[in-house]
Amino acid sequence: MDVPEGRLVVCSFDPGIRSGWCWYDLDRIEMCTQGTRIGLKGGETNFGQFDSSKGERYAVDQMVQLTRRCWEWADVDEETDTFIVTIENFTLRDIVNTGPELLSPVRMTARYLDRLETSGIAIWTRCSASEAKNTVTDQRLKLWNQYSSSSGEHARDAQRHGILIARKYASDLGFRQWAGVGLSKKEVSE
């Protein structure tokens, strides 16, 4: 497998009334040759969640700030590293709650992705909640030593999205080609 040196940096979000976030800084070759379990063991991670009740614009500002902090935390080299942002894709299931917070994740995602695209911070993709939860179960998080009982449900969901993207990168040549190496002339702007 021909995989260039460098790192895969994934910044993931689970937006909502409580929003989860997670960062992964992984060795690209290790992920693609040794697999997700070994790649995660050798990588670095950071995660948490924040209260979005101060308003959606505030929450989106937090997400953009966290994306920039992830870039800085991982000290991304735009020539050799791959930086991907992923966010949970909203799927309307049962309508139990018909209040304005029902579509809050949709509005937050739209604002965030618009800011991401106009600033040129990173390439991005969306993950379905069901695919992330079915693929990256609590049992797998524990097996891979990624589970923290104190992290909070939304931070764990953001972890699931980040790991799902890392798995896709490691196992899917088409996904790797889409993600590429470096950001091809994109810049992180303040």
Residue-wise pLDDT tens digits, 37-96: 899 999 999 999 998 888 888 888 899 899 999 999 999 998 889 999 998 876 665 666
List pLDDT tens digits, range 120-143: 666 778 788 889 989 999 999 999
What is the separation, in whole angstroms, between the first and last Cα of the chain?
37
User: Minimum mean pLDDT among 6-10, 166-170, 173-177: which range?
Assistant: 173-177
Residue 122: its pLDDT value, please? 65
Residue 185: its pLDDT value, please? 35
Please identify which residue in the block is written with the tokens 């953001």.
158
What is the rounded average pLDDT for all residues in the chain? Answer: 83
Residue 102: its pLDDT value, please? 61
Cα dihedral angle (99, 102, 103, 105), rounded to 10 degrees?
140
Residue 140: its pLDDT value, please? 93
Residue 181: its pLDDT value, please? 66
Is CATH 3.30.420.40 what the domain over 7-179 is classified as, yes or no? no
% of the chain residues with pLDDT over 90: 42
Residue 190: its pLDDT value, please? 35
pTM of the model: 0.82
Residue 120: its pLDDT value, please? 63
Bigger pLDDT: 189 vs 88: 88
Q: Tell me what the mean pLDDT of segment 144-170 comes to.
A: 92
C-alpha span between 160 and 133 (Å, rounded): 7
